[in-house]
Structure 1
């Protein structure tokens, strides 16, 4: 299980993703004031392992995930999903993932082909303003964590745009 501080952009641009024992697993260097809303994800030694950035040319919110310098996926909001928000994680090949549930309140699942591969929840933690990401064995943990962070970027951007209206 991983722990992410909720609404990390309100506190600062950099933060750590920890395990359920509080040990740093990843460091996230946020460049949210950049044009592309970019996050650089580093291992505990400071080596870049992944990045997430907003795609500038897209009909709907879309965020590119790169792992090891290679395109690993794209997180996109689905256009027509009545009653609940839904994002897809479009990965190379046929194994796309879907994030659905109460995305804004961090109570949702990640599924592939109708099978749950990860879940996100605030209920598992007593730590205020944090949420947990539980990922099934055999899944690409870094890809799913990057997708959750991309979703956080998308929700934060949407909230800012709603506040301007």
Structure 2
């Protein structure tokens, strides 16, 4: 399933609907204003919080955290000692690691687990300016998590390149 995500929506106080490939409003992004650290909630159409994205505080390396039900689900940071500049690691609380690599700033990258593609992020699927698609390839993959990973990786890459 492909989801349309707008690029310029992620800022303090910004709210935006993420649509599926059929144009249905699937997830609401709720940007939380007046917080000490950057925070976004991804909600279902009924308003239930599915995941919360936060910039990690007091970290030696820039990182973001994804929470579910007020508990940490994943931490995302740039991979150390990588020959590829655009390579990030997603560490899930159960010890699972996802690899994210590709042209992050161009919105052309993938999320993999143990060499298997979980999601592909691309601007090519939609003709809408300042938008990209998150194509969740596996049916059993957690779509809100894949969207949150894409958002986090893009934010980290933008900060790393001074585009924040």
TM bin (shorter chain)? 0.7 to 0.9
Counterpart check, 1:155 vs 2:157: yes
Task: Determine helix, strand or coil for the equivalent of 2:52.
Answer: strand
Which structure features the higher share of helix residues? Answer: 1
Q: What does residue 38 of structure 2 align with?
A: 37
Q: What does residue 14 of structure 2 align with?
A: 13
Give me the TM-score of the superposition, normalised by structure 1: 0.87
- Which segments of 5 or more consecutive residues in structure 1 lack a partner in the other structure? none
What is the CA distance between 1:143 and its match in structure 2?
1.3
Counterpart check, 1:109 vs 2:101: no
Superposed structure 1 runs of 4+ greater than 4 Å apart:
none
What is the CA distance between 1:152 and its match in structure 2?
3.0
What is the RMSD computed on CA atoms of the aligned residues?
A: 2.2
- The CA distance in 1 between the partners of 2:121 and 2:34, in whole Å, is 26
Aligned partner of 1:145 among 139, 144, 147: 147
Give me the TM-score of the superposition, normalised by structure 2: 0.88
Check the 8 A contact 1:98/1:112 in 2, yes or no: yes
Task: Determine helix, strand or coil for the equivalent of 1:7.
Answer: helix
